[in-house]
Amino acid sequence: MKTPFKIAGLALVALLAVQTGFAQQRQFDPSKMSERQTKMITEKVTGLTDAQKAQVKTINDAYAKSIGDAWGKSSGDRQGMRDKMKTLRDDREKKLKGVFTADQYKQYQEMEQSNRSRFQGRRGQGGRGGGRHQGGGGQVQEQQ
């Protein structure tokens, strides 16, 4: 009679361990977001100087921190959060545009459009959001 209880107990422990692992995996880490974004930009946008790369990193660090702060302060107001994210994205875009040359900014916009298209293609898969977005730095942008 003890064996079924042991099996049930082990199954419960395993289930809790898996759930805890998923919860930890989904925690937002601003520094990782900034690293991903900076790496992608410096790999895809050609001709960046070291000074430009440093400025991109500074902009991405501030943006990721702002996103983290906004998520921490959100109280379930989805529309308010969406508006805040748009404001933060627009501010980041303006700052990046000031760092890049016209050609570099065009490359950046093409990279962002490619990421948006790839993300939107995934949204229909797997229900709510279609899995984790890889390669866009954690950014979700609305099509305009």
Residue 113 within any structural domain of the chain: yes
Residue 44 within any structural domain of the chain: no
Residue 129 within any structural domain of the chain: no
How far is residue 30's CA from residue 128's CA, in Å, rounded to a whole number? 23
pLDDT tens sequence across 26-83: 677 988 999 999 999 999 999 999 999 999 999 999 999 999 888 888 777 888 888 9
Residue 99 within any structural domain of the chain: yes
Which contacts (CB < 8 Å, 24+ apart) does range 4-8 have? none
Residue 115 within any structural domain of the chain: yes
Per the structure, how many domains does the chain have? 1
Instruction: Encode burial over 60-72: b for 16+ CB neighbours within 10 A, e otherwise.
Output: bbbbbebbbeeee
What is the domain range of residue 108? 50-120
Residue 116 within any structural domain of the chain: yes
pLDDT tens sequence across 87-132: 999 999 999 999 999 999 999 999 999 988 887 776 665 544 444 4
